[in-house]
Amino acid sequence: MPDIRNRGGLLYLIKQLELGVRHQLDRLLREHALTVPQYTLLSVLHSAPGLSSAELARRSFVTAQSAHKLVRTLEHRGLIARVPHPGNRRVLRTYLTASGRALLKRCDVRARSIEEGLLARLPSAEASELRTTLQCCIRALHDPSPPFQSLIRDETDKEPLMTQTLDTTGVGAPKRLEHQAFKAFAAREVENVMNRYEYMMSHDQFGYVYDNLFATDAPDVRVELPFGRWEGPESVRRCIVGYHSYLCLDDQGRPRPGVLFYNANTQPIIEVADDLKTAKGLWICPGYSAKDQPDGTFTAGAGTAVRACDFLYDEEQGRWKIWHYIVTGLTSHPYDVSFVDNKVNVQSSAARVFPEGTEPDGEPQYSWMYSTEARVEYFPLLPEHYRTFAETHSY
């Protein structure tokens, strides 16, 4: 059987492409305050208006529970509307509103740019052949003949997949409780990963953090700070090890006297996927700092940020790893100045110096900092229950 960890294997290449496209789509949709599952649902309704919630769930590749949450969110935003079926008023049919159609049209234009970028280097004949090949592979997955026969579940099979356990009423309480216990244990482990991250970073153990806490085998591992974005394993190393060493260590790699950065992880909100392969977490992080200046003096600072992360479960090591790591600023100010009165955004890229070899790959996709003129924005999005990562947004 081919090993998906083989970086030259077909399965690895497909997974790498899927993650890359998902990241690009997440980035584009974020501008319109949409997630990929929400965009998928809107697209399904455009192609087949008037579907019920159950039909929407099947066509959008999500559970009925997830579809219900998506519908409620989009309806609240005025992008879809539900009306009773004329033959059965207990059944609600779902339609796009004018606002929903207009937003979908704008998103479709952006989404097509991703496809055009993927195919830009292929002659038209090869692009057409690629579509045909992919369609053939999809049909093969549903072929009842070997080798996929054992992978296709019979609808009469009463034993649910682990990812279906929480949504299956026919499963006994012991099985559901066992699954809930697995998820609770995983959530605790995810929280410990972030606590280890903060403790070791505050003690300048940057190499340990990169080697042990980040999913460095994932090609799309990513770090976004208020002043820059680093994408890919080597780029993340430049940030975690290179840039933070520049901030805190001397030329011999020793902690510089008097320099301190410390943040606390508070109010954890953690959701573990039903398939136990990924997790999402959100923390409010107050902190303080002491920095040495070129003239030999020190300045003290304080601030608060929001930390949002996606996590991957490393089955080989049996440990959770940080996959996508995002920090958005809330407040940042000198210790002797109120954050209301502070007018200098020290978290901006313009206020930062990046030594050679530590530069970010680009600006963060999202950056917000308190000012008396700024309105509070809802980002990062709250982690909510999901079955697989395909059903949720990417941080």
The per-residue pLDDT string of the chain (395 residues; one tens digit each, 9 = 90 and over) reads: 444 445 557 887 887 788 888 888 888 888 888 888 899 999 999 999 999 888 888 888 887 777 888 898 899 999 999 988 777 777 789 999 999 999 999 999 989 999 998 888 888 889 889 888 988 888 887 665 555 554 444 444 443 433 343 444 444 556 778 888 899 999 999 999 999 999 999 999 999 999 999 999 898 999 999 999 999 999 999 999 999 999 999 999 999 999 999 999 999 999 999 999 999 999 999 999 999 988 989 999 999 999 999 999 988 788 999 999 999 988 988 988 998 988 765 555 556 889 999 999 998 888 788 889 888 888 898 999 999 998 888 89
Max CA-CA distance within the chain? 79
382 C-beta neighbours (distance < 10 Å), count: 11
The pLDDT value recorded for residue 344 is 66
Amino acid at 242: G
Give a yes or no: residue 283 inside a domain: yes
Contact of 302 with 287, CB cutoff 8 Å: yes
Domain extent, residue 31, equals 10-121
Number of domains comprising the chain = 2
Q: Give how far Cα 213 sits from Cα of 208, 228, 278, 304, Å.
A: 8, 20, 14, 23
Give a yes or no: residue 14 inside a domain: yes
Give a yes or no: residue 162 inside a domain: no
**Whether residue 189 is found in the same domain as residue 86:** no
Give a yes or no: residue 38 inside a domain: yes
CATH code assigned at 83: 1.10.10.10
The pLDDT value recorded for residue 233 is 94
Contact of 36 with 393, CB cutoff 8 Å: yes
d(CA 199, CA 319): 18
Give a yes or no: residue 104 inside a domain: yes
The pLDDT value recorded for residue 138 is 80
Contact of 42 with 81, CB cutoff 8 Å: no
Task: Using alpha carbons, select from 276, 274, 275, 304 the residue that is nearest to residue 288.
Answer: 304
Contacts of 129 (CB under 8 A, 6+ apart): none
Q: For residue 240, how many C-alpha atoms fall within 13 Å in the half-sphere facing its CB?
A: 29
d(CA 263, CA 303): 9
**Whether residue 79 is found in the same domain as residue 200:** no
The encoded tokens of residue 86 equal 């004329």
The pLDDT value recorded for residue 8 is 56
**Whether residue 233 is found in the same domain as residue 382:** yes
Amino acid at 195: N
The pLDDT value recorded for residue 348 is 56
Q: What is the dihedral of CA 57, 60, 62, 63, to 10 degrees?
A: 10
Alpha helices, DSSP H, located in 86-230: 98-119, 124-141, 173-202, 206-213
Give a yes or no: residue 286 inside a domain: yes
Q: For residue 127, how many C-alpha atoms fall within 13 Å in the half-sphere facing its CB?
A: 10
**Whether residue 209 is found in the same domain as residue 69:** no
Residue where a domain terminates, one of 121, 156, 187: 121
Contact of 388 with 277, CB cutoff 8 Å: yes
Amino acid at 361: D
Helix (H, G, I), strand (E, B) or coil at 154: coil
**Whether residue 117 is found in the same domain as residue 179:** no
Residue whose tokens read 């997630």: 35
d(CA 244, CA 275): 35
Partners of residue 123 on adjacent β-strands: none
Give a yes or no: residue 132 inside a domain: no
Contact of 225 with 239, CB cutoff 8 Å: yes
Contact of 276 with 183, CB cutoff 8 Å: yes
CATH code assigned at 384: 3.10.450.50
The encoded tokens of residue 127 equal 């692009």
- Sign of the dihedral through C-alpha 15, 18, 22, 23: positive
d(CA 79, CA 71): 9
Give a yes or no: residue 142 inside a domain: no
